Amino acid sequence: MSPPDSQSASKVYARVAHAVLEPRDLEASLLLKAAAKLQAVLEAWDQKPPAGLSDALLYNRRLWIVFIDAVIRDDNRLPVATRQNVLNLGMFVMAETFSLMTAPKHEHLANLIQINRAIAAGLGSKNGKSQPQRAA
């Protein structure tokens, strides 16, 4: 039997960490991970968008689709005004994403990063915690 490699051990640890996180902490963590991916693309942006743009946008878009789906469900317990605000932000995120896919401009990318970080910070503060740390 061979010893477990560090990569598989880290994957197991990551799954366990996600399983024990509070939902708000998990959401904040995922938003920060998306922001980090987008930030890496922004920092690599020179005269044209870097190759990682599509992957970073896909990750962020999938995450926001989950949020949008959650707030439009009838069984969602959030106040209607909060649900509407999240839905409006989600629609803005989708519009910025479409803009980035059709006519990439780093300003649109910066908007997505700022939104993700602001929502993550708000999720962290609701639990009586300071701002969540940036995801790597």
Walk along the chain (136 residues) and give the pLDDT tens digit of each residue: 545 555 665 565 556 555 666 888 999 999 999 999 999 999 999 878 888 999 999 999 999 999 999 999 999 999 999 999 999 999 999 999 999 999 999 899 999 999 999 999 998 876 555 444 444 4
Range 53-57 contact pairs with CB under 8 angstroms and sequence separation of 24 or more? 53/100, 53/104, 53/109, 54/101, 57/97, 57/100, 57/101
Which amino acid makes up residue 59? Y
**What's the pTM value of the predicted model, to 2 decimals?**
0.76
Instruction: Decide: 89 and 115 in contact? Cβ < 8 Å.
Output: yes
What ranges do the domains of the chain cover? 23-126
Domain 23-126 sits in CATH at 1.20.120
Dist CA 108 CA 123 (whole Å) = 23
